[in-house]
Each structure stands twice: as C-alpha cells, then as structure tokens.
Amino acid sequence: MNPRASKLSKLPYYPILGAAIYLLLGLLWIEFSDVFLASIVSDPVLLTRYQTYKGFVYVLLTAILAWVLLKQRLQFEMALTESQRLSHMAFDYAATGIAYVDVNGQFIKVNQELCRMLEYSADELRSMTFQHITHPDDLLLDQGLREKILANDIKQFSIEKRYITKNNHTLWVRLSVALLPPQQHLSAYFISVVQDISAIKHAQHQLQESEQRFRTLLDSMPNISVQGYDEHGVTLYWNKGSELVYGYSKQEALGRNLLDLIIPQPMHNDVKAAIQAMTHSGHPLPAEELQLQRKDGSLVSVYSSHAVIFDPDNKPRIYCIDIDLTERKQQEAQLAFLAEYDPLTHLPNRQFFTGRLEQAIKVARREKLQLAVLIIDLDNFKTINDSYGHSVGNLLLKNVSEKLKIFCRDTDSLARLGGDEFAILIEHLPHTEDAARFALELLQALQQPANLTERIDVTITASIGISLYPEHHNNAESLLQGADAALYKAKAEGRSTYSFFSSQLTSTARQRLQLETKLRLAISHQQLQCYFQPQVAIQSGQIIGAELLIRWQDAEQGFISPELFIPVAENCGLIHTIGHFVLEQACLLGKQWLEEGLPQVKLAVNVSAHQFSKGDFEQQVISTLLATGFPAHLLELEVTETALMHNKDAAIRTMQQLRATGIRLAIDDFGTGYSSLAYLQRLPLDILKVDRSFIDNITDNDDDRQISKAIIELAHTLHFDVLAEGVETAEQLALLKEMACDYYQGYYFSQAVPAEQFRQLLLNQSPHA
C-alpha cells in the first residue's frame, strides 16, 4: 500500500462537509432573509421580487456547487488510480530487487528485478522462503538480524550476503531489510531491498588476487623494499625486500615507528616533516637518494620514492618503495675507478694523469713554479712478454708500478699511461737537474732484479723522457708529447738513460749530475781544501783576518771553481757537508794558530742560504765553537743578501741568536741584492762587504764610485764596518782609503792561499800590529 495514496483518500471529504454547511446556511438564509431584508429595505416591489426568485437563485448556486464538487472528486479519484499504478510500476520495474517477506521468511511479493537476479519466476519465489535460497554460510546472520528487528532491538539492517540462484550460481547482494508494522487487514512483513553486488565482489576479489600477486611479486624482488606507514610513521606493511635491505624481520618491523627502525638520528626532523606534508597534502614528495640505517647500524644507500594512498576509512597511508643502491653504487664505483685507474696496477690512467697535470699547471702558473713530466718506458718489455707470456709480463708491470710507488714522494703523481709506459709528475721542481737526478736514481732503482715467480727473476732497464713547464710547454697535452719526444731521444741514445725535451738541457743536466757524483767522491776522498784570502785594514795595511774559500783540485779536470760546484752542492744538499767542513776548518786552524801565538785574526766563513734556512744551523755553529775552543768573537759568518731575503724575520732571529754568542756577522756581496735601508737597520751586522762588481770599475766609472762611496757612508751611519772586495790595484785602494773604507781583500794584497801560506803571512806580520 502506498502511504501517500491513503492520505489522498481523506482529502475530498472536507469539501463535502463544506457543502453540507453551505446547504444548512442556505436553508437558514431562505427562511430568515425576508425578515432581515424587510428591516433594512423599505421598497415593497423589491422585496416581492426577491421572494419570487430567491428559491431559483438558491437552486442555481447549489447546482454550481454540486458540479464543482463532483468534478473535484472525479479528478481526485483519477489521480489516486494513477498514483497506485505508478507505485506498482515502480515496484515492478525498480532497478533494485524488492521483496515483501513475511515474518517467517515467506516471499509475499517480489519484483521483476529480484526474479531476474535469482532466476526464479515471481510465482516460484512466492512459494519459497528466503531461507531456501540463502547461502548456508550467511543464513544465521540474516535470520539473526531479522529476529532482532522483530524483538525491536534494531529498526533495520543492511548486510552483504549470498543467495544461491535457481541455476545454482552464487549471487552476492547487499540486502537492506526493514519491518512494516501490522495494518488493519495486514500482519507485519519485511520489506527487503536487494542490490546485486556480484560485479563489485568480483572486482574486489580480483583486486585481492592482484594485490596478492603484487605482494608475491614485491617479495620476489630482494633489492626492492616496500614499506607502508600510517600517518604517525607506524609500520603497517613490510615486504621481504625490506627484511633483506634493512635486516628487520616483518615481525620486528610491524607496529614500530620508522624513525626507530631505519631513519638515522640526524634525519628525524626532516622525515617527520615529510610525513606530515604527505599526509596533509595527499601528494608524495619527489623521489630522492637517501642513506638509511640497517638493523646493524650500518648505512645503506637507497633510491626512495613514495605513494600516499587513502584507506577505506579515508586515513592516509604512506608507502615507501626503496631500491637498494648498494650494488649499483659498487658498479658505479667500479666504473668510476676504471674510468680513471688502470685495473692491473691500480695506478691512475692517462686521462686522470692529464687532468691532474692540468691542475698542477694552473697552480704552477699562479705560484711561478716549475714542473717536470717524466715518461718512463721499459726497455725490451716485449721480449719478456714474448718469452714468458702475458701473465709474467703483467707481474713485471705490477712489480715496476710498486717500485715506482715506493720511489715517488707524496707530492708526485704517478700513472700508467698504457702498455709498459708510466708517467710521473713532479711538482715544485726547484732546479732542472732535480728532475735529472730523480730520473737517474729511478733508472737505478728499476734496474734492481724483479723476482716475479718462484723461478723467474727479471732484470730490466728503462728509458725516461722529461719535459718541463714552463720551459718546454705550457699545457698538459704538449708536456706529455714533449716527454714522449724526449723518451724517443733517450731510446735512440741506446736506452737505459734519460733525456730532456731540449738537448741543451739534457747535456747541462747530465754535466751537473756528473759534477755532483764527482763532488760526492771528492768529499769522501777529502779532496776539498780550504784556502784563506787575507783581509787587510786599509789605514794600517795589517792583516786583520781572512775569508775561507773552498778549493777543489780534480785529478782529471784540474781546478773546479766554487762558482760551478757550490750551486750543484746547494741543489743536492751537499752544501751542508761542505759548510760544516769549512766551519770546522776555520775553528780548528784558528784555534791552532792562536795556540801557536800568532796574531789574533778573525776568520770569515761563507754561509749558503740553504744552510741558513736549515733549522739547526745556530746549534751546529755553537757546538763547533765549543768542540774546538775557538773564540766566538774571532769567527765571522758571511751571509749574502739573498740568503736573508728568503724569510726575513726568521733570518733576523737566527742572526740575533748567533750574535748573542759573540759571533761576528757580515753581509756579503752588498749592493747586488735589494736590501732596504729599513731592513738593514734591523740586522745585527758587524761588517758590510761591498761587492767586487762596484770595486772593479771604481777608478773609471763615476757611478760605481758614487755608489761605493754612498754604501760606505751608509754603513758607517748604521755603525757597520766596511770591507771592499776584489781590490786589484793601488788606485782602487787609494780611492777606497779616500772614501774612508775600513778593510779590503783582493789580489792586490793576495789571492786565497793554502792554510800554511796564510800562517806564514801571519807569522811575518808584526805581533803588535
């Protein structure tokens, strides 16, 4: 029954009641209107007419009213019939199954859709109960809920359940049931609305299946970790990959916060912010590479991407898909290594070396340094390869690379350019021959027999080509080419040697190295001697001292000038041995002469810049004085301006310490350097030696004369004594006397002479002079 139709049926009786009231009021009007009109209208004609027609008017009005009412009733009846028809149609043709079911479960009325769903006809269904066609597993639930409605515990219910259709198919439906209370002639019955959800269930089933398959798939990928977290970071999902990548089992991970699991402490705040941002926006953050933490505390590199999925309760779930990059990183590192290193020797390759060289050139350009590039090529390597095979050849290359590694300093760069070719970059090369010395020593080291296997010992030689920056080339490529060309020359010269890019340099370097080798021998065979050049007071003409000058008489070459070998000695470090020898000679002989009663004279010793800048120089001087007993005030140390220029403050400190012991200090070759007056004032000097180059022309060059005069005056102003070097003539001496120069030395008085000869000079001099 349509409740709206029953309401409509009551409506038309209100106008009938109205009509009855109208009739009653009309009759009353007919009865009493004459009296009423007579009281207000006095015209008897009008009153008569009214009485004649009043019945007719009343009947007319009543007829009209009856007609209106009848029409309204007819319209209403028609509307009611139409509404009932529509209601039946709606029931029948509804897209949802509808059934009226009595309290025992018997179908009373079913619509077409329900029949279609259950594959029964309406008549068949009306002869059945819902229990007949309900899936046994769902029967208890359905029945129980209906009982609850009947017991008035609930008003209605809605469940998902299964029916078994006539053709024995399982049909998933959403069933909504409400109880219609008993009415006049009808007992209570259930209205069931049945919605076919088989398609949804099927889709859900498929989804579950595909989810299951997806999970199986995820679990089968060991280096892909998938984790699911709630909005607080609590772990909800943890696949096999996560177990393998992070080391936590599923049981250990589920329910724990990801911050306690895999996020290193310093990242905690960032991760919290990221979770908040994703759960609020519903959008994942961009994927990125992260370093996360394993159970054992070690870090693992992962490429982490995220997805934000809302669950059926609309709660955000964050899924992280982390790809373990460990293997890829190792491969990348391996590739990076191979791009720059030689896999056999693990030395940098040509590409890396060229880059390193370019960098070094930039620094050298800025700091005005010299660089050397050496290419080392093994002589006859092919023969070894051919005779013993490649594996022995490889062992030899490894052996050579080890020797090279040991040989190079930390600041040198070593590489294998390919085949049997190696390269070394020497930065901060102070002198050209340092590269030659390096090459020579390297050749000697490589010549040591190499024990490759139990039975194979190989002795091999190498050739080396050297090119220099900036002297030969100013870019990496050309420097390598230059060294290669030089290598070719070395090979052409008969191998087992080195060669510079320029032949001139090769011969100079070789000469200097030969000289160095000879000097070593000369020192060890005590072939160096100290000569003494007297220093004379200009006013009195008395010897006041002598400068010690080193002399080397070589058996083959004859006299070798200190101007030639002192720079070589400075480069190879022999200057310290020579310096110490001269100092010791001065002190020993000086002391000996004092003991003999010879006149007291000061002995001047040249000190090289290299000695001066070495930390223990003062110590060495003091201990020599103590060891020999030579008085400090008779020892004079000559330092050149250039020696003082290197580290001015340290030089001043050293000089002050030496001066404090009573030693005299002289500045040598004055005028050739760039000492400023201000700097000179700070130096604790005793004597200033005017360079020979000024004295040479003092007689005929006005400029030199003026400069010498100015130097002498300046020195006196600063309370230094002045000694003129290289005085060869009486004229020079006369001029110097005029200029009030204090002392001189030079061939005019005497060349440097052996100790005994100088001793004779002293003996000949009056002791009281």
Contact residues toward ligand C2E (CB under 6 A) are 533, 548-550, 561-563, 566, 579, 582, 606, 608, 668-669, 692, 726, 728, 745-747, 752
- Residue whose CB is less far from ligand C2E, 476 or 566: 566
Distance CA 502, CA 432 (A): 12
- Nearest Cα to 421, choosing from 401, 448, 442? 401
State the nearest-atom distance from the C-beta of 579 to ligand C2E, in Å: 6
State in angstroms the smallest separation of the CB of 716 from ligand C2E: 22
Instruction: Cite the DSSP H helix spans in 161-197.
Output: none
DSSP letter, residue 304: E
> Whole-number minimum distance, CB 527 to ligand C2E, in Å?
14
Between 401 and 608, CB nearer to ligand C2E: 608
- Whose Cβ is closer to ligand C2E: residue 524's or residue 766's? 524
**Two structure tokens written together for 85:** 């028809």
Decide whether 106 or 527 has the Cβ nearer to ligand C2E.
527
- Which C-beta is closer to ligand C2E: that of 417 or that of 604? 604
Residues forming a β-bridge with 170: 164
How many angstroms separate the CA atoms of 122 and 126, rounded? 6
- Residue written as tokens 């290669």? 484
Task: Give the nearest distance from C-beta 588 to ligand C2E in angstroms.
Answer: 15
Residue 535: CB minimum distance to ligand C2E, A: 10
User: What is the spatial distance between Cα 545 and Cα 537, in angstroms, rounded to a whole number?
Assistant: 9
Report the run of H or E that residue 564 belongs to, with start and end. helix 562-572
CB of 744 to ligand C2E, least distance (A): 9
**Cβ 602 to ligand C2E, closest distance in Å?**
15
SS3 18: helix
User: Do 179 and 93 contact (CB within 8 A), yes or no?
Assistant: no
Least distance from C-beta 701 to ligand C2E, angstroms?
16
What is the CB-side half-sphere exposure of residue 588 using CA atoms within 13 A?
8
Q: Minimum CB separation from ligand C2E for residue 732, in Å?
A: 9
Quote the tokens at residue 574: 């022999």
CB of 578 to ligand C2E, least distance (A): 6
Quote the strand ranges of 573-690, DSSP E.
Answer: 602-607, 635-640, 664-670, 687-690
SS3 category, 384? helix
Give the rounded distance of the alpha carbon of 158 from its chain centre: 61
CB of 600 to ligand C2E, least distance (A): 22
Nearer to ligand C2E, 550 or 572 (CB): 550
Of 561 and 623, which CB lies nearer to ligand C2E in the complex structure? 561
Neighbours of 365 (CB within 10 A): 13
Measuring CA to CA, which residue among 241, 281, 466 is closest to residue 375? 466
Residue 692 CB, nearest distance to ligand C2E (Å)? 6
The nearest distance, CB 589 to ligand C2E, in angstroms, is: 14
Residue 450 or 604: the one with the smaller Cβ distance to ligand C2E is 604
What dihedral do alpha carbons 27, 30, 36, 39 form, nearest 10°?
Answer: -170
Neighbouring CB atoms inside 10 A of 451's CB total 12
> From the CB of 649, what's the least distance to ligand C2E, in Å?
23
Query: Measured from the CB atom, is 231 or 728 closer to ligand C2E?
Result: 728
* Cβ atoms < 10 Å from Cβ of 438: 22
* Cβ atoms of residues 193 and 210 within 8 Å: no
> What are the CB-based long-range contacts (under 8 Å, 24+) for 253-257?
253/227, 257/232, 257/233
**Two tokens, residue 526:** 């005590």
- The residue (of 442 and 724) whose beta carbon lies closer to ligand C2E is 724
- Structure tokens belonging to residue 335: 């590739």
Residues in the chain: 769
Query: With respect to ligand C2E, which residue has the nearer C-beta, 80 or 530?
Result: 530
**Can you give the three-state secondary structure of 195-247, one letter per residue?**
EECHHHHHHHHHHHHHHHHHHHHHHCCCCEEEEEECCCCEEEEECHHHHHHHC
Nearer to ligand C2E, 473 or 610 (CB): 610
Q: Which is nearer to ligand C2E, 394 or 577 (CB)?
A: 577
Q: Strands across the sheet with 288-293, in order?
A: 235-238, 224-229, 316-324, 299-310, 288-293
- For 158, residues 6+ apart whose C-beta sits below 8 A from its C-beta are 174, 175, 176, 177
Question: Which of 421, 547 has the CB closer to ligand C2E?
Answer: 547
Q: Are the C-beta atoms of residues 336 and 343 closer than 8 Å to each other? A: no
Least spacing, CB of residue 655 vs ligand C2E, in Å: 16
* Count of Cβ atoms closer than 10 Å to residue 367 Cβ: 8
Instruction: Give the nearer residue to ligand C2E in terms of CB position, either 400 or 752.
Output: 752
* Minimal distance, residue 625 CB to ligand C2E, in Å: 17
Q: Which residue stretches of 368-502 are H helix?
A: 381-388, 390-407, 432-446, 476-492
Q: Rounded to whole angstroms, how far apart are CA atoms 562 and 581? A: 14
Q: Is the torsion defined by CA of 556, 559, 563, 567 positive or negative?
A: positive
Q: For the CB of residue 731, give the shortest distance to ligand C2E in the complex, in Å.
A: 13
Q: State which residue, 262 or 666, has the beta carbon closest to ligand C2E.
A: 666
Query: Beta strand pairing status for 558-560 and 543-554?
Result: antiparallel
Q: Given the complex with ligand C2E, which of 12 and 562 has the nearer CB atom? A: 562
